[in-house]
Amino acid sequence: MWGAGQFGDWGEQDHAALAFTAEIGASMAEAALRPGLRIGFTYGSGDSDPNDGDHGTFFQMLPTARAYAATPFYNMQNTSDLFVQLSAQPAKGVTLRTELHQLWLSDSSDLFYSGAGANERRDRFGYTGTPSGGSNDIGTLLDLEVSWIATRYLTLTAYYGHLFGDNVVAAAAQGGDDDIDYFFLEVLLLFS
């Protein structure tokens, strides 16, 4: 478990926001396939009234979205994420992992924020946000990752994630497809 509170000023607004994560898990290292199970909930506050002079959206200062979302279309700002993860090691150096995330906005009055880092412009600082369309439902994300430690110096990873988008994603897509597919291949080389 961990939690964070933010208090101070956001431009000319008073800022008060919070985020927390609670997880529990277990693995059976001595069993065949070395199965593992992890269940958790992550919450980042949203702003219930963007016109009241108070700013309540949690600001993700350390933008490491990939640790929580390998399909990086969302972050911890105004987001609630209930998830379950299953993992196994069917062979030496091979790890299979799948996750199921149920995602919704913490407050439908706030924006749906995306991105893995804040940007700065003369008139604005922060993350990209789109209106929620009055809904909280982002969607359900299902993913699968296969990682193989080929040698001490080389690891290969393949990842695929699919979002079954709901009302918030449909509003952001403005009539386009509300599903998202994300795939990557990663090669990690160590030089030590």
> With bands split at pLDDT 50, 70 and 90, how would you rate the model's confidence at 114?
confident
- pLDDT class of 116 with cuts at 50, 70, 90: low
Query: Confidence band (pLDDT; 50, 70, 90) for 174?
Result: confident
pLDDT at position 28 is: 92
Summarised one tens digit per residue, pLDDT across range 13-55 is: 999 999 999 999 999 988 899 999 999 999 999 999 988 989 9
Of the listed ranges 83-97, 103-117, 118-132, 136-150, the one predicted with least confidence: 118-132
pLDDT on residue 130: 87
Confidence check: pLDDT of 65 > 70: no
Tell me the residue range of the domain where 77 lies. Answer: 2-142+162-181
**Separation between Cα atoms, residue 150 and residue 139, nearest integer Å:** 35
What percent of the chain is predicted at pLDDT more than 70? 90
147 assigned to some structural domain: no
* Greater pLDDT, 157 or 133: 157
- Give the count of domains, the chain: 1
pLDDT at 133: 84
Whole-structure pTM value = 0.88
Average pLDDT over residues 145-154: 96
Q: What is the mean pLDDT of residues 137-143?
A: 96
Helix (H, G, I), strand (E, B) or coil at 14: strand
DSSP 61: S
Q: Is 46 strand, coil or helix? A: coil
171: left (phi over 0), alpha (psi -120 to 50) or beta: alpha
Closest CA to 130 of 107, 103, 105, 112: 112
Residue 81 has pLDDT above 70, yes or no: yes
Model confidence at 178: pLDDT above 80: yes
82 within domain boundaries: yes
Smallest Cα–Cα separation from 79: which of 169, 180, 191, 188? 169
Report whether pLDDT(63) > 80: no
